[in-house]
Structure 1
Amino acid sequence: MGLCFPIFLEEKASDNMIKLDQFLKFVGIAPSGGQAKLMIIDGNVKVNGTVETRRGRKLQTTDTVTVDGRTFVVGDVI
């Protein structure tokens, strides 16, 4: 499964977009898609300072994601 990450990264970076649940898994905040879904639905994730409850929310490189006081700039990660 680890071999998929470089392909995933290249694919998403070329689109300049990634879904919120995929982003949480990619940066290691959520160990699984199910855990990412729960974090999002429970209102524990903010995008650009606003609570986001849509796991399919598409993030752009300029967006910020905050979880448990940790903030990530999407463009710095993908």
Structure 2
Amino acid sequence: MKKEIFIDGPYITLGQLLKEEAIISSGGQAKWYLKETAVNVNNEPDNRRGRKLSDGDKVEIPDVGLFFIRSKQESE
């Protein structure tokens, strides 16, 4: 699945993305999820729940999908 994620501010954290997309049920699960799942940000492995994702970033989560981060300000 490919999906665009529109953000209001300058960034969203990787942990927030996981929670908003219902991949995890609470923010506290992000640390454990990222330890066990090989998530790629811009084609590089990353397991930091606080990783800031901004306009143009691409997040690939195995068995879930590909997410493209887009700024709402630029899309209006």
Give yes or no for TM over 0.5.
yes
Deviations 1:19-70 (A, max 9, x none): 1101110111112212222122334211111110211110002111111241
Considering Cα pairs closer than 8 Å and 6+ residues apart, tell me whether 1 or 2 has the greater RCO. Answer: 2
Runs of 5+ consecutive residues of structure 1 not aligned to the other structure? 1-11
Cα contact 1:25–1:32 (8 A) shared by 2: yes
Greater strand share, structure number: 2
> Residues 23 and 32 of structure 1: is their aligned pair in 2 closer, same or farther, counting only changes over 3 Å?
same
Greater helix share, structure number: 1
Alignment match, 2:48: 54
2:20 matches 1:26: yes
Provide the identity percentage: 37
Runs of 5+ consecutive residues of structure 2 not aligned to the other structure? 1-6
Separation in structure 2 between the aligned mates of residue 76 and residue 38 of structure 1, nearest angstrom: 28
Aligned residues: 65
Query: Structure 2: which amino acid aligns with 1:66?
Result: E
Separation in structure 1 between the aligned mates of residue 26 and residue 71 of structure 2, nearest angstrom: 22
> Residues 43 and 50 of structure 1: is their aligned pair in 2 closer, same or farther, counting only changes over 3 Å?
farther
Separation in structure 2 between the aligned mates of residue 33 and residue 24 of structure 1, nearest angstrom: 8
Give runs of ≥4 in structure 1 deviating > 2 Å: 41-44
Q: Among 33, 55, 58, which residue is 1:64 paired with?
A: 58
TM-score, scaled relative to structure 2:
0.69
Separation in structure 1 between the aligned mates of residue 43 and residue 11 of structure 2, nearest angstrom: 18
